[in-house]
Amino acid sequence: MAEPKQERAVKTRAIILRAAAEVFDEFGFSGASISKIMKRAGMTQGGMYFHFKSKEALALAVMTSQADDLALPPGPDGLQRVIDITFDLAYQLQHNTLFRAGVRLAVEQGEFGLQDDSAYQQWADVFAAQFRAARATGDLLPEVDEDELGRVLVGAYSGTQLFSQISSGRADLPERITSLWRYLLPGVATAEARAGLRTDAARAELVGKASR
């Protein structure tokens, strides 16, 4: 039996997105071109145009689909899990093309005239949900605002990975995340909760490999 038309369209879109991510990851936005992406995806101009009208539209889709490939690391919701997410993302930035390209485009979007914070906001919501779980188990300090802290963490994390990328091609990102938590946790978690949390840099490999 033939594949239903809609299912095929979804698959085709995913193939194009993956090809676009590879090309953006390798060449950046200016160096990428629709024709390079078409070739990589094995797609005709018509097929391509049906899904995406421009390089800008492709870049926006890669930016906002950056998390589609990702499963959250295992374990109950709460502080250890939000810490593990930040270490898993370090591993994904080192190994996952769609995610790395999405983050690169989200950071460099000014260069191609975009101003879209939805990728940032999505992560702020993911983090805030973990902080709310931590509130429920009594691990958060009373003065923490979960949504505000979610935004602070997205900002702090974005710049940390950027500095690490420019300094070391992200080789030192796990160590920099350990440092970030070292100074953030005293303003976030009770002393009792902090005593049980693992924030060592080896966590990146451990969580990253386990989570898929």
Residues that bind a copy of itself (CB under 8 A): 28-30, 104, 106-113, 115-117, 120-121, 144, 148-149, 151-152, 154-167, 169, 176, 179-180, 182-188
Nearer to a copy of itself, 43 or 55 (CB): 55
CB of 184 to a copy of itself, least distance (A): 6
CB of 193 to a copy of itself, least distance (A): 14
Nearer to a copy of itself, 106 or 207 (CB): 106
CB of 77 to a copy of itself, least distance (A): 20
**Position 39, amino acid:** K
Q: Cα(first)–Cα(last) distance of the chain, in Å? A: 32
CB 83 within 8 A of CB 199: yes
CB of 20 to a copy of itself, least distance (A): 16
Nearer to a copy of itself, 137 or 167 (CB): 167
CA 41, 42, 46, 47: dihedral to nearest 10 degrees? Answer: -60
Give the three-class secondary structure for 140: strand
- E-strand stretches of 55-165: none
Nearer to a copy of itself, 77 or 172 (CB): 172
CB of 179 to a copy of itself, least distance (A): 5
Q: Length of the chain in residues, anyone?
A: 212
Nearer to a copy of itself, 71 or 195 (CB): 195
Residue position matching structure tokens 């038309």: 5
CB 173 within 8 A of CB 161: yes
